Amino acid sequence: MRLSELQTGQKGYITRVYGSGAFRKRLLEMGFVRGQEVRSILNAPLKDPIKYEIMEYEVSLRRGEAVMIEVSMLKSDVPENDLPREEWATRQLSDEGKTNMEHNGLFVAGKSPSPEKKIKVAMVGNPNSGKTSIFNLASGAHERVGNYSGVTVSSKEGHLKHDGYLFTLVDLPGTYSLSAYTPEELFVRKELVTGNPDVIINVVSASALERNLYLTTELIDLQVPMVIALNMYDELEQSGRTFDHETFSDLINTPIVPTVGKRGEGIPRLLEEVIAVHEANGQERVQIPYGRVLEKSIERMERELKGSIGTTWDMPPRYICSKLLEGDREMEKRVASLSGGKQILARRDKERAYIEKLLREDPESAFTNARYGFIAGGLKETLTEKTHRDDNTRILDAILTNKYVGFPLFFLFLWIMFEATFQLGNYPMEWIEASVAYLGNLVRGGMAEGPLKDLIVDGVIGGVGGVIVFLPNIVILYLFISFMEDSGYMARAAFIMDKVMHKIGLHGKSFIPLIMGFGCNVPAIMSTRTIESRSSRMITMFIVPFMSCSARLPVYILFVSAFVPSHGSLVLLGLYVLGILIAAFTAFAFRKTLFKEEETPFVMELPPYRMPTAKSVIIHMWDRSRQYLQKMGGPILVASIVIWFLGYFPYNGDREAAFDREMATVESKYDNNEISAGEREVTLAGITHERNTQHQANSYIGRLGRFIEPVMRPLGFDWKISVSLLSGMAAKEIVISTMGVLYTGDSEDQQSLQERLIAETHPDGSPVFTPLVVAGFLLFVLIYFPCIATIVAIKEESHSWKWALFSLFYSTGLAWLVAFLVYQVGNLL
Amino acid sequence: MDIQFFIVILIGIAVGAILLRGLYRFFFDKKKSPYCGSCTLCTAPPVSPDKKGIKVL
């Protein structure tokens, strides 16, 4: 029977994995190997995908992918060949086995310790094993971590000093193996081989030990000086298990240090072990025993290879041979370029046929089985069974991914997030607003009239002050996003949304960049590089900009609090959901037209729920606040001053003198008792308003605005809105700072930007911001590209300006069309 | 010349220089991150080593 046929709660034993290429390889590496027990846990709300438990971790598979795995309800049905897994286990720990391993052992030469006492350490490990947590704690960096896979997409460096050594830590993306199937696997392998690290810290999650150790077996084959960080050790202890890591360490001859990355426990010892390995100038290392058949093939391949590669290759011949036999394409390419390449590959083909004939399975499966056999053997006597089963994840999943309440709960959480962002954020927002107004009035009252006063009041306080008031909202939004990411709920969101993603031609892996896009679109676009299929990657890249990034939030809040304060959170939620719908429409349309290639299958690990630590949440919020404040003092301040200059100049002396004369006339009329005090006030305010309007309309920015106004007029936008949207191409917050500078309001009293926008009228006295203009404006901001940096990121990831410009024109064109329809159709109704 | 006008012109020159430097760096300078002006205001990781403070553990 097939895995997809297992009923919820049933278990089976894997007998065979069908399929080919990257998907099959990924399944094998994730533990879907012959004889392995697998249990069906639950279905997603839309019946697809299904959550399975294997090797003590949980994984999501679509029905269409689960069909590729053949299982049997009886363990005795599992065919055995060469050396059964249990036998591996017994043999390995027997005296004979140990002697064999020692006999097979070899000395891995390390680099000589440098006299400057510098160590370059590369950190590798499975996705979500906690590498970045250890990296951050060790180096003092604040790199993003999350309780789901694929948060790190490129290497990052940090530095620290310990015991007189200067460490350079390189945090590499998480990978399940060193195969050359996915970009991150290839990237990690290249970094390990050509990056020339002195020692490797292999971060192994103690909560899914068996699966995590698979990568360790590959690193042993690669013969790199290594220390294992047994991370999340507290979770292993809490489950009531004991792991004799010292015995296991002796078995593989590699130091193992238990660590708890989130609390920093064990990190000093880990660094000391790294120094010890570095100073030992090499390690005695075991060889993974692959069994009689595979070992014979490796031996014959090694003989064939020896003459050709010489000493120039940066990998051990045994590793090259095993990878060649597994069908590693990258290795094939390298070998094909050798002088005797053809001969070696011909031998390889013969050996693959030999393996298939004798073991009755393909070499890929044979090697994976052997590696997992080695691990099972090592763990059999060192790792005890669980005595305490933590059912929290199971209970929470039963509720949060339930077919009836899963989706309502998801939307309820989103609504609570926006309600808190909008309503709760209103209080501190009002305090900051009052402080900005106080400061503005202080300068107005305390400074003599002149351009500097105007620059400070209208340019700096009007511009920067208009944006800074939204800091609390940003902090609250990030509090929620951080909590959802660190707790593991984001991965569940991807799980329940997978079927919807499938319908629009994308897979669950695209969901992670989309979620990241709510924070900032630039890293979200970068994270699309983990998607194997080019067509899916391109589509994801194009739809990420429709995810409302945190820079758009201040614009939404400004307009929502000014024009629809009573339904603020619902409008916010609506905008976010609409962004998702537009993304879905775009993905669907592109899949049907531009990128017709079939989508690739997706295997997603579902991490256990973890309570985020207050420290990590606070650090995340602090980082965002710092970034936001830095933006205030940098690009937004510069943009506000530039907009003010463009709005202030050129200075027309004749026009100003004419207005001065007009005002003087009013004053003299008042002095001669020709008009009352009230009439004087009204007339002077009218003249001042007219003066400001004329001044702005004839300024450089006014001319620019009037130049683009014909394009934006059909949307109901005047030149000030058009200029604000244009300046928002640099960053969305600049839309607000520009409005803060352009909508000057009452010259005697500092008003909030909301009040100034509400008070803004056309020359005929009608309001500028009608409901249709507000709706069109919000939709325009939602749909048009978030910033130039996003377009550059698309160019870098797609390696083409063509696609970057396509994204720019597509999103802007769509924004224009939607705002046009809203305004024109709305006016007809 | 009016002192306020003089200061405003000085600020204008300074901001103009900052703007031009930013534009130059964006288009011509070697950047830590190839995606943008490397302003560190978002979470885009730099490509070259991040010169963060060295922590003593």
CA distances from A90 to A15, A272, A374 (A): 22, 33, 10
Q: If you average pLDDT over residues A45-59, what whole number do you get?
A: 89
Cβ atoms within 10 Å, residue A353: 11
Cβ contact (<8 Å) for A143 and B44?
no
Q: How far is B32 from chain A (nearest CA, A)?
A: 11
What pLDDT score does A151 carry? Answer: 52
User: Is the per-residue pLDDT at A343 higher than 60?
Assistant: yes
- A371 pLDDT above the threshold of 90: yes
Could you please report the per-residue DSSP string of A730-742? T-THHHHHHHHHH
CB contact under 8 A, A161 and B4: no
pLDDT for residue A628 = 82
Kindly report the number of other CB atoms within 10 A of residue A399's CB atom.
Answer: 10
| pLDDT confidence bin for B47, thresholds 50/70/90 | very low
φ and ψ of A242, to 5 deg: -125, 145
Contact A160 B55 (CB under 8 A): yes
* pLDDT > 90? residue B55: no
Q: What percentage of residues in chain A have a pLDDT greater than 70?
A: 91
Distance CA A78, CA A71 (A): 9
Which residue in A633, A640, A634, A629 sits closest to A737, CA to CA? Answer: A640
pLDDT band at A466 (very low <50, low <70, confident <90, very high): confident
One-letter amino acid identity for A663? Answer: M
| Residue A399 β-bridge partners | none
Chain B hits for A453, CB-CB cut-off 8 Å, are 4
Which residue out of B5, B55, B56 would a mutagenesis test of the A interface target, given it has the greatest number of A Cβ atoms within 10 Å?
Answer: B55
Q: Which of A140-149, A602-611, A629-638, A716-725 has the lowest mean pLDDT?
A: A140-149
Facing B15 at nearest CB: one of A451, A523, A641? A641
Most A CBs within 10 Å, among B3, B19, B39, B42, to test the A interface: B42
Chain A residues at the B interface, defined by Cβ less than 8 Å, are 138-141, 143-144, 153-154, 156-162, 166, 168, 267-268, 271, 448, 450-453, 455, 519-520, 522-523, 526, 627, 630-631, 634-635, 638, 641-642, 645, 788-789, 792-793, 796
Name the β-bridge partners of A260. Answer: A265
Mutate to test the interface with B, among A120, A132, A156 (most CBs of B within 10 A): A156
pLDDT 10s digits, A662-713: 999 999 999 998 889 899 988 988 888 888 888 888 899 899 999 999 999 9
Q: Which residues does A549 contact at the CB level (< 8 Å), separation at least 6?
A: A517, A518, A519, A520, A521, A732, A786
Confidence at residue B45, expressed as pLDDT on a 0 to 100 scale: 47
Kindly state the tokens that stand for A674. Answer: 């020709």
* Mean pLDDT, chain A, integer: 85
Architecture of domain A3-79: Roll (2.30)
Q: Of the candidates A188, A799, A818, A753, which has an alpha carbon nearest to the alpha carbon of residue A528?
A: A799
Beta bridge pairs of residue A57: A54
- Interface contact B1, partner A, CB < 8 A: no
Q: Return the sign of the alpha-carbon dihedral for residues A149, A152, A157, A160.
A: negative
pLDDT score recorded for residue A81: 55
d(CA A572, CA A480): 15
Contact A490, A484 (CB under 8 A): yes
Smallest Cα distance from A279 to chain B, Å: 19
State the count of interchain CB pairs (< 8 A) between A and B.
106
Q: Which residues contact A732 (CB under 8 A, 6 or more apart)?
A: A549, A551, A552, A554, A555, A781, A786, A787
The set of residues, in sequence order, having a beta carbon less than 8 Å from that of A574 and lying 6+ positions away, is none
Q: Which of A170-179, A349-358, A683-692, B38-47 has the highest mean pLDDT?
A: A349-358
Q: Which among B15, B36, B46 has CB closest to A789?
A: B36
- Domain residue spans in chain A? 3-79, 106-285, 406-606, 627-800+812-828
Report which of A181, A182, A172, A163 is spatially closest to residue A202, judged by C-alpha positions.
Answer: A172
Residues of chain B neighbouring A634 (CB-CB closer than 8 A): 39, 41
Contact A271 B57 (CB under 8 A): yes
Residues B15, A631: C-beta atoms closer than 8 Å: no
What is the distance in angstroms between the Cα of A158 and the nearest Cα belonging to chain B? 7
With beta carbons less than 8 A apart as the criterion, state whether A206 and A258 touch: yes
**Domains A3-79 and A106-285 fall in the same CATH topology:** no
Query: For the residues A719-739, what does the mean pLDDT come to?
Result: 89
Q: With an 8 Å Cβ cutoff, are A450 and B4 in contact?
A: yes
Where residue A154 falls among pLDDT bands split at 50, 70, 90? low
Higher-pLDDT residue of A52 and A520 is A52
- In this prediction the pTM is 0.77
Q: What is the pLDDT of residues A59-106, one digit of tens each?
A: 988 888 899 899 998 877 776 655 445 454 445 445 544 444 444 445
In this structure, what is the dihedral angle of CA atoms A783, A788, A791, A796, given to the nearest 10 degrees?
-160
Among A494, A495, A361, which residue's Cα sits nearest to residue A28?
A361
Contacts of A166 in chain B (CB under 8 A): 54
Q: Is the pLDDT of residue A621 over 70?
A: yes
In the three-class reduction of DSSP (H, G, I as helix; E, B as strand; rest coil), residue A604 is classed as: strand
Query: What is residue A432's three-state secondary structure?
Result: helix
Q: How close does chain A come to B51, measured CA to CA in Å?
A: 8
Instruction: Record the tokens describing residue A124, joined without a space.
Output: 């590798």
- Which of A481, A478, A469, A480 has the alpha carbon at shortest distance from A428? A469
At the fourth CATH level, which superfamily is domain A106-285?
P-loop containing nucleotide triphosphate hydrolases (3.40.50.300)
What are A205's strand-pairing partners?
A231
Distance, in angstroms, between B21 CA and closest chain A CA?
Answer: 12
CA torsion, points A436, A438, A440, A446, in degrees to nearest 10? Answer: -150
- The C-alpha of A310 sits at a distance from chain B's nearest C-alpha, in angstroms, of 33
Q: Which of A141, A452, A641 sits opposite B52 (nearest CB)?
A: A141
Q: Is the pLDDT at A500 greater than 70, yes or no?
A: yes
Across the interface, whether the CB atoms of B57 and A162 are under 8 A apart is answered yes
Interface test with chain B among A118, A132, A792, by most B beta carbons within 10 Å: A792
Contacts of A519 in chain B (CB under 8 A): 43
Q: How confident is the model at residue A499 (pLDDT cuts 50, 70, 90)?
A: confident
Contacts A158 to B, Cβ<8 Å: 50, 52
Share of chain A above pLDDT 90, in %: 35
In the sheet with A604-606, reading across from the earlier edge strand, the strands are: A69-72, A11-17, A37-43, A50-54, A57-61, A604-606
- How far apart, in whole angstroms, are the C-alpha atoms of residue A583 and residue A145? 26
Residue B35 identity: Y
Write the residue in A453, A638, A788 that is nearest to B18 by C-beta.
A638
Residue B13 forms contact with A (CB below 8 Å): no
- pLDDT for residue B41: 47
Question: Do residue A796 and residue B35 have CB atoms under 8 angstroms apart?
Answer: yes
